[in-house]
């Protein structure tokens, strides 16, 4: 066998065994020379045996590096939570990070690095040297350097992390900052013995897409494949393989084409999840080929006319959304647009209309009569109800800006003032108690008697699971 070719194969095997651990060219050549008997050894070893030993040693080093990084990543996350992204850190914390990265072989020692780690640089120079090292390592602008960016130099792009890496990150890093995983987000898991193999899930997803879109059999042969393994709050007994196939663009269509498909990990069957907005391939084709009815067109035209009334206002685009319309316009919605929605639903357009409009169409809105308490009085009652029931401070309640207001006359004899405290101010999230996800508060008040009809809280995300839960927003 050609010696140079054999050396190359061994070097490649060493490199591939741990892409993020550095083994110098010189050290590799020493190992190869010893294996071939070019340097004195007590006992000459075969190239194959040396290769096995090297891979074992590197694998042990790999495990040690993983454990070291998983331990240090938690410390780095604590610093981020206290000081912000890397650029805002104190010089001492930056130096400690560089020391960790040097120990892992991600940053090579040099004169500047030695002076930095030995504390021989001024505070200004320490910042400068450390910043340069991190920018060179991550390839990012200094203001974007973060724990995620650094971890990607070890594990690769976050979109290609293994199932084990994604689950570890969510459980140990994400939940270090937040007290729970949002109800409309994936809960990443490590596949267990009940799960079909990853490759089987990929093959199943490919075949389903080929069949649904009537594609040639080799269409996905060169696709970039990424997978995830997760469950959801909705039903933790169902575990999903998520298979994403990406096709590079062509001269005729330069944009990348991405196909996302879910496979039930226990049954091996194609499935969907409405909360996450991931349909089956067959459903995607149906949506592609969908032709709206004339009733839907009428609904869309009437809706655009109503929304256009808000465009001249010098306010955020959110004010075009239904929840920020005036009480008068919401009443007009019930009177003139809801009948169009009902007609469109009868024509099979419910999916296209979506929960966002079907939910408010379930109620009848109006304007308060002279017998009703005023909106300001009702708002004071709602504020007090939240403070009394949930024990939050007035300062925290004051962070909720643009409280959504509805006057519900679905039951004409008992009209309701409804208030949804669901939108925090842009700069308000940092003022929340540590680790608390934003809470939505809903209060309903009898407009004639001032009695509290309902007062409850929701974690953001719960309202998106179904039409019934979506209605809690209105």
- Looking at the structure, tell me whether residues 467 and 393 fall in a common domain: yes
Q: How far apart are CA 425 and CA 316, in angstroms?
A: 12
Output the CA angle 353-319-365, nearest 5 degrees: 60
Of the listed ranges 91-100, 132-141, 211-220, 392-401, the one predicted with least confidence: 392-401
- Looking at the structure, tell me whether residues 380 and 468 fall in a common domain: yes
- Looking at the structure, tell me whether residues 112 and 58 fall in a common domain: no
- Looking at the structure, tell me whether residues 395 and 463 fall in a common domain: yes
Q: How far apart are CA 250 and CA 273, in angstroms?
A: 31
| Tokens encoding 369 | 């009569």
In a domain, 133, yes or no: yes
pLDDT of residue 292: 86
In a domain, 58, yes or no: yes
In a domain, 313, yes or no: yes
Give the CA distances from residue 275 to residues 186, 234, 240, 462, 467, in Å, rounded to whole numbers and listed in that order: 10, 8, 13, 10, 11
pLDDT tens for each residue of 153-187: 888 888 889 999 999 999 999 998 887 787 778 99
- Looking at the structure, tell me whether residues 9 and 102 fall in a common domain: no
Query: How would you list the strands of the sheet with 439-446, edge to edge?
Result: 404-408, 416-421, 439-446, 452-459
Q: How far apart are CA 216 and CA 220, in angstroms?
A: 9
| Tokens encoding 303 | 């809706």
Task: Provide the CB-side half-sphere exposure for 235 (13 A, CA).
Answer: 11
**Which 3 state secondary structure label does DSSP give 264?**
strand
Q: How far apart are CA 357 and CA 467, in angstroms?
A: 10
Q: Mean of the pLDDT values across residues 1-27?
A: 42
**Which 3 state secondary structure label does DSSP give 227?**
strand
Last residue of a domain, which of 270, 289, 308? Answer: 289
**Which 3 state secondary structure label does DSSP give 417?**
strand
pLDDT category, 438, cuts 50, 70, 90? low
| Tokens encoding 342 | 């009902």
- Looking at the structure, tell me whether residues 285 and 298 fall in a common domain: no
C-beta separation of 465 from 234 below 8 A: yes
| Tokens encoding 110 | 């040099």
- Looking at the structure, tell me whether residues 391 and 455 fall in a common domain: yes
Residue 404 bridge partners (DSSP): 420
Higher pLDDT, 290 or 371: 371
Residues of the chain above pLDDT 90, percent = 54
| Backbone Cα Rg of the chain | 30
Q: DSSP states of 320-355 as a string?
A: GSGGGS-HHHHHHIIIIIHHHHHHHHHTT-HHHH-H
Quote the strand ranges of 233-345, DSSP E: 235-247, 257-264, 270-271
Residue 79 has pLDDT above 70, yes or no: yes
Last residue of a domain, which of 235, 264, 289? Answer: 289
- The residue behind tokens 């060169």 is 222
- Chain length of the chain: 474
pLDDT of residue 30: 44
In a domain, 77, yes or no: no
Domain residue limits at 398: 375-473
- Looking at the structure, tell me whether residues 199 and 285 fall in a common domain: yes
- Looking at the structure, tell me whether residues 311 and 349 fall in a common domain: yes
In a domain, 167, yes or no: no
pLDDT category, 420, cuts 50, 70, 90? very high
Give me the number of domains the chain comprises.
5
Residues 307/309/311/315 CA torsion (nearest 10 deg): -100
Query: In sequence order, what are the residues at sequence separation of 6 or more whose Cβ sits closer than 8 angstroms to the Cβ of residue 334?
Result: 363, 364, 365, 366
Q: How far apart are CA 115 and CA 219, in angstroms?
A: 55
Last residue of a domain, which of 238, 254, 289? Answer: 289
Q: Which of 263, 329, 269 is nearest to 302 (CA)?
A: 329
| Tokens encoding 216 | 């040639």
CA 29 to chain centre: 44
pLDDT of residue 395: 83
- Looking at the structure, tell me whether residues 280 and 302 fall in a common domain: no
Q: Mean of the pLDDT values across residues 387-402?
A: 85
Q: How far apart are CA 243 and CA 114, in angstroms?
A: 46
- Looking at the structure, tell me whether residues 105 and 45 fall in a common domain: no
Q: How far apart are CA 38 and CA 45, in angstroms?
A: 12
Q: Are strands 224-232 and 187-188 parallel, antiparallel or unpaired?
A: antiparallel
C-beta separation of 165 from 133 below 8 A: no
In a domain, 468, yes or no: yes
- Looking at the structure, tell me whether residues 196 and 244 fall in a common domain: yes
pLDDT of residue 203: 97
Q: How far apart are CA 50 and CA 45, in angstroms?
A: 6
Of the listed ranges 63-67, 136-140, 202-206, the one predicted with least confidence: 63-67
Output the CA angle 245-462-162, nearest 5 degrees: 30
In a domain, 256, yes or no: yes
pLDDT of residue 60: 47
In a domain, 368, yes or no: no
């Amino acid at each position: 066998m050609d010696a140079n070719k054999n050396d190359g194969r061994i070097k490649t095997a060493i490199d591939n065994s741990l892409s993020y651990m550095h083994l110098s060219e010189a050290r590799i050549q020493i190992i190869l020379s010893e294996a071939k008997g070019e340097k004195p050894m007590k006992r000459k070893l075969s190239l194959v045996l040396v290769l096995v030993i090297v891979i074992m040693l590197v694998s042990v080093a790999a495990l040690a590096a993983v454990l070291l990084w998983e331990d240090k990543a938690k410390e780095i996350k604590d610093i981020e939570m206290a000081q912000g992204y890397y650029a805002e850190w104190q010089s001492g914390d930056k130096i400690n990070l560089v020391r960790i990265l040097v120990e892992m072989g991600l940053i090579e020692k040099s004169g500047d690095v030695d002076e930095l780690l030995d504390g021989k640089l001024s505070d200004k120079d320490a910042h400068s040297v450390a910043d340069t090292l991190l920018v060179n390592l991550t390839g990012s602008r200094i203001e974007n350097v973060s724990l995620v960016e650094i971890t990607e130099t070890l594990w690769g792009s976050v979109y290609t992390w293994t199932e084990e890496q994604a689950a570890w990150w969510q459980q140990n890093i994400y939940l270090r900052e937040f007290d729970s995983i949002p109800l409309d987000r994936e809960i990443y898991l490590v596949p267990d013995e009940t799960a079909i193999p990853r490759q089987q899930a990929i093959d199943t997803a490919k075949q389903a897409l080929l069949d649904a879109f009537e594609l040639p059999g080799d269409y996905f042969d060169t696709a970039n494949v990424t997978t995830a393994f997760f469950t959801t709050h909705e039903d933790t007994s169902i575990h999903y393989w998520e298979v994403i196939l990406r096709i590079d663009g062509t001269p005729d269509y330069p944009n990348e084409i991405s196909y996302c498909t879910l496979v039930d990990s226990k049954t091996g069957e194609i499935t969907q999840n409405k909360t996450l907005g991931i349909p089956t391939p067959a459903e995607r084709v149906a949506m592609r080929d969908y032709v709206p009815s004339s009733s839907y067109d009428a609904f869309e035209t009437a809706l655009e006319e109503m929304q256009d009334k808000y465009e001249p206002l010098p306010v955020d685009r959110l004010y075009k959304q239904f929840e920020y319309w005036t009480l008068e316009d919401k009443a007009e919605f019930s009177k003139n647009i809801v009948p169009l929605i009902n007609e469109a639903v009868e024509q099979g357009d419910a999916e296209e209309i979506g929960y966002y409009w079907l939910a408010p169409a379930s109620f009848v809105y109006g304007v308060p009569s002279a017998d009703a308490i005023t909106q300001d009085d009702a708002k004071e009652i709602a504020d007090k109800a939240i403070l009394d029931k949930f024990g939050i401070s007035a300062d925290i309640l004051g962070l909720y800006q643009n409280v959504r207001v509805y006057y519900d006359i679905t039951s004409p004899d008992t009209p309701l003032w409804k208030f949804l405290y669901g939108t925090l101010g842009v700069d308000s999230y940092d003022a929340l108690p540590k680790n608390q996800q934003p809470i939505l508060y809903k209060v309903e008040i009898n407009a004639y008697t001032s009695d509290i009809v309902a007062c409850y809280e929701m974690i953001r995300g719960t309202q998106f699971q179904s039409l019934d839960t979506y209605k809690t927003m209105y």
